[in-house]
Chain A
Amino acid sequence: MDKILVGIKRVVDYNVRVRVKGDGSGMETDGVKMSINPFDEIALEEALRIKERGDAQEVIVLSVGSADAQQQLRTGLAMGADRAILVEADTAVDTLSVARVFKAIVDRESVDLVILGKQAIDGDNSQTGQMLAALWDRPQATFASDIKTDGNTLVVTREVDVGLEKIEIDLPAVITADLRLNEPRYVKLPDIMKAKKKPLDTIALAELEIAASPVLKEIAFEAPAERGKGIMVDDVAGLIAALKDKGLIQ
């Protein structure tokens, strides 16, 4: 294959505990550390490995969002992507529209394979890859833990609830990366310097003339219900007594 496109989403870092704003209007994200969505790093790592073993020519990273996302795209370039595209939007973009943006870039670039993270850790939706595959009328292999390339077909192992499912798909196709697909590489300082010279193109969202989608309105945010404080027991006998007390064991 020629080109692999990888999605990069800028999200609140995995280790930050995000809180609801006092007035319930949204999340408190000012000044918190931002990172590449962890599953997108796994997606990019896999694309790079496919290229490095000679099965692809070019890896392009794409982000849809504010200009700040250039930071995460630069990290993607430092990991090894050849070039980056930012589709810049001033306001939040709904998932279906993000999928439409990916479809527009896929057409423009004649992409053979798109690899995305299986979900973003902010919205926890797990939708973009499936939606792109639908709009493109191409195969999807979600929750991938292994990818074998064989010319124009791929054999993908998927992490499903009951175990591991294998499917065979024809290119072009969409894959979403699960946790165990690989362990992303660490970026080294010289790579960060090199990444500064790699091309990063910005396209205004309006320029792509994406059709408007019916948007889901987020009307209120609240903190999750707290569980009541429990009891501490001293030993196994105490634990068994407490479980019996609740009728959970005989």
Chain B
Amino acid sequence: MTKILLIAEHDGSALKPSTAKCVSCASQIAGAELHLVVFAADAGSVASEAASLDGVAKVITVENEANEHALAAVLAPQIVALASDYSHVFGPSTTFGKDLMPRVAALLGVNQLSEIMSVEGTHTFKRAIYAGNAVVTVEAPADAKVVATVRIASYKAAGSGNSASIESASVSADIPAHTRYIGLEAGASDRPDLLSAPKVVAGGRALGSTEGFDIIYALAEKLGAGVGASRAAVDAGYVPNEMQIGQTGKIIAPDLYIAIGISGAIQHLTGIKDAGTIVAINKDEEAPIFEVADIGLVADLFSVVPELTESL
């Protein structure tokens, strides 16, 4: 029987949007029973939120002081202790899941599928390789557990009208002391989360400086949008890495994506290919971004972006 264990991602008080998207992916596996597991110091509010997600049969909570912060070395052995009843173990393709799931897979003695973007069967999935230059269909062995991360940009969030049962579990696993959490320096953000924002405005190297990005922030604020950047802008030091969109940054799928001064290298395009509408503003009419844009405007960004912000 197909039973899926999905590792919930949360910040201690609320679920991250990535979890509801993984639920949608897992729900596409025919006949599967889906259990969500919440590792936390206090799982209370996260567990009730998890139980409301459509498609979840059961929520399992594993409460332990050591689980207050998500450290892969701490969580992986606990997941392995729970995994024996399951045919599949899934997590999100966020930095949380990318850090954790390969560790789980290796402990279980299996290879791991990274960033599945479509379910073709209980053991067959599609994923992107070479910066999205190709999509490969991968078949996992039928006689081994499937451990995978889900490309969250490929899925819409599951609904939340459910009331699954919540069960507390205690697991016996050796929790290592060799890895210790110190702290988190969160990026300045009252802005919408880049990974789940319905609208995203992003800037490239053409912005020229950290100050140059001010017009991007102003437009984003007017639109209520998240803010991203190309790798070139991150490399140049204009913005922090958590804003990077593309192969080596975040893969996103907003309803509206506005690329400003971004040329559109393949490594960037793979990060936005599932966006609803792509708008490109660039002064170079030959820029590859125009090949994928739904709406293109060839213009000097320093004049049209403030004008656009003003007009909205």
Contacts and interface: CB of A to CB of B under 8 A. Distances in A.
A204 interface: no
Contacts of B135: 221-224
Given A131-B106, A168-B180, A142 B99 contact: yes
Interface in A137-163: 137-143, 145, 155, 158-163
B106 A130 contact: yes
A223 B134 contact: yes
B62 interface: no
B111 interface: yes
A138 B103 CA distance: 11
A159 B241 contact: yes
Given A18-B133, A134-B76, A167-B71, A155 B182 contact: yes
Interface stretch (B24-32, B158-166, B210-218, B289-297): B289-297
B134 A139 contact: no
Interface in B89-112: 94-96, 98-107, 109-112
Given A140-B99, A214-B144, A221-B136, A162 B184 contact: yes
Contacts of B119: none
A223 to B, nearest CB: 7
Contacts of A240: 308, 311-312
A96 interface: yes
B78 to A, nearest CB: 13
**What is the interface of chain A mostly: helix, strand, loop, or mixed?**
mixed
Interface stretch (A2-10, A65-73, A76-84, A116-124): A116-124
A225 B256 CA distance: 19
Contacts of A216: 111, 113, 138-141
B141 A215 contact: yes
B: interface residue count bin: 35 or more
B247 A169 contact: no
Given A134-B103, A161-B94, A224 B110 contact: no
Contacts of A214: 109-111, 140-141, 143-144
Interface of B: 11, 71-73, 76, 94-96, 98-107, 109-115, 124, 128-141, 143-144, 176, 178-187, 189, 194-195, 199, 223, 231, 234-235, 240-242, 244, 247-248, 250, 255-256, 266-267, 273, 277-279, 281, 290, 292-299, 304, 307-308, 311-312
6 contacts: A124-B131, A132-B106, A140-B73, A163-B184, A178-B241, A218-B136
Given A96-B109, A224-B135, A239-B279, 15 more contacts: A18-B133, A95-B111, A124-B247, A133-B72, A142-B98, A160-B242, A161-B95, A162-B242, A169-B179, A214-B141, A216-B140, A217-B139, A220-B136, A228-B294, A236-B304
- CB-CB nearest 3 A-B residue pairs: A130-B102, A134-B106, A131-B106
